[in-house]
Amino acid sequence: MDIFASAAEQLAHWWADTPTTEKVWLAVGFSAQLMFSMRFIVQWIASERARASIVPETFWYFSLIGGAMLFAYAIYRLDPVFMLGQGMGLVIYSRNIYFIRNHHKMATRDEKAGEVRSVAAE
């Protein structure tokens, strides 16, 4: 039991001694990591359901949001390696979202064109 009491005491001291700004940035970092991890959970569930490797659209949105949050956290921490890694990821995630949106636009346009053709044929 002494180990738990000691850990609780150390945590209480840390909490009292740590500035609010640092606590907020730690919350941002942990939230960012959660968002970033959600993409793997979404991908895993989609793949299990399909019994094949699937990358659902939400994977890229979680990647972008989590990556942007982690990039902000890396800037706050002044970590150039982390900034470069997350920055490059943001380019890739954004590009994939662009492809997805472009595909949706083209599909909608083709669908509307098909409706116009079928009405004209009647």
Please state the pTM of the whole predicted model: 0.71
Task: Count other Cβ atoms within 10 Å, centred on residue 39.
Answer: 22
What is the overall mean pLDDT for the chain? 88
Is the confidence at residue 12, as pLDDT, over 70?
yes
Q: Per-residue pLDDT for 119 more than 60?
A: no
Residues in Cβ contact with 55 at an 8 Å cutoff, skipping those fewer than 6 apart? 43, 46
Residue range 54-82, pLDDT digits in tens: 888 999 999 999 999 999 999 999 999 98
Beta strands in the chain, from DSSP E residues, in sequence order:
none
Take residue 18 and report the two structure tokens written for it: 């740590």
Q: Domain ranges in the chain?
A: 2-93
The confidence score (pLDDT) of residue 113 equals 77
Distance CA 76, CA 82 (A): 11
Count of other CB atoms within 10 angstroms of residue 67: 24
pLDDT digits (tens, 9 = 90+) for 82-108: 899 899 999 999 999 999 999 999 988
Reference 28, options 91, 92, 76, 84; nearest CA is: 76
Check the CA dihedral 61-93-41-34 and report its sign: negative
